[in-house]
Amino acid sequence: MMKNVWSKSYFRYLLFPFGLVYGLISNLVRLSYLLGFRKVWRAPVPVVVIGNITVGGNGKTPLVIWLVLALQRYGLQIGVVLRGYKGKGGTYPFLVTRDTQAHQAGDEAVLIYQRTKAVVGVAPLRKKAIEAVLSHSAVDIIITDDGLQHYALARDIEIIVIDGERRFGNGWWLPVGPMRELKSRLDNVTVIIANGGRSLPGELTMHLMPGLAVNLKSGQRKPVKELDNIIAIAGIGNPERFFNTLHKHGVKPLKTISFSDHQSYDSLSLNELTSYGQILLMTEKDAVKVRSFSEAHWWYLPVDAALSSVATKQLLAIIFRVIPSVS
């Protein structure tokens, strides 16, 4: 379904009535908070929402990691909250630790913690996640991965990540197109960042840069182009971006296999994908889900968000304005 909403097929327009219903409900929900009919909770520290107005694979989580690390370099204490999509943590809210598994907290939460060691709180209600973070540590700012449409939470800054290649598809609401909210929503956000592709005036530009490939079993690192006989898999919002990254860096997999975002894996099914002498190469987001039963021929390719020095200064200047300790 996630992939189909980007389709250019005219048959999608048969779903137009459902798109109108989705849009009506979405607008009514937002309006109910704007007019005060529903209560908005404000955290005692600044809140930055990094979200999008389309579904699937825009690059929010790499940007969250980039921003957390950038702010940590200034000595700031950062809290991150997520709803824990596809996680089955049992009792919410809870804080991610080094022992937390992806099936408990969701793959993004575990990935962010492993990369940043920030205080990461998980709960379907982000208010509860923020309260858990604040009860654990005095943080200077909260960053929420996704949650643009979670209007019960007041936010000081809204950062929208756009897929610079796919942009907005046909521009229609789900399920006719990929839109959670229409493009006009961008008129009211703080920052727009285009990930890859083309950016328009007023948008900051971001790219995803691959690092060294990492062996899941041994931790060995090497340039990805040095790997041979690769079967590449990706269970992310936009698998083609991962496969295109491989091609751009001189890697030609024997086969590429796409899975749905947040796909669950098991050792048996993954081992069936490769034959003797072949390497299974996956995204870092997939790797956090399989680390506990990894095999010696499994590798992953981490990627990092990269912003120009100008974009970095502009974005951090906006963030610093809402943090009392640095403003």
Supply φ then ψ for residue 29, to 5 degrees. Answer: -60, -50
Residue 36 is assigned to a ligand binding site: no
The answer to whether 77 and 137 are in contact (CB under 8 A) is yes
The answer to whether 296 and 267 are in contact (CB under 8 A) is no
What is the rounded CA–CA span in Å between residue 182 and residue 175? 13
Sequence letter at residue 280: L
The answer to whether 290 and 216 are in contact (CB under 8 A) is yes
Residue 87 is assigned to a ligand binding site: no
Residue 191 is assigned to a ligand binding site: no
Residue 60 is assigned to a ligand binding site: yes
Residue 274 is assigned to a ligand binding site: no
Q: Which residues pair with 195 in a beta bridge?
A: 163, 206
**Listing from the earlier edge strand, what are the strands of the sheet with 255-258?**
221-222, 213-215, 298-301, 279-283, 230-234, 255-258
Residue appearing with tokens 């860096």: 249
The answer to whether 172 and 10 are in contact (CB under 8 A) is no
Residue 256 is assigned to a ligand binding site: no
Residue 54 is assigned to a ligand binding site: yes
H/E element, 180:
none
| C-alpha dihedral sign at 278, 284, 288, 292 | positive
What count of other Cβ atoms lies within 10 Å of the Cβ of residue 289?
Answer: 23
Residue 55 is assigned to a ligand binding site: yes
What is the rounded CA–CA span in Å between residue 93 and residue 108? 16
The answer to whether 301 and 210 are in contact (CB under 8 A) is yes
Annotated binding site: 54-61
Annotated binding site for ATP: 54-61
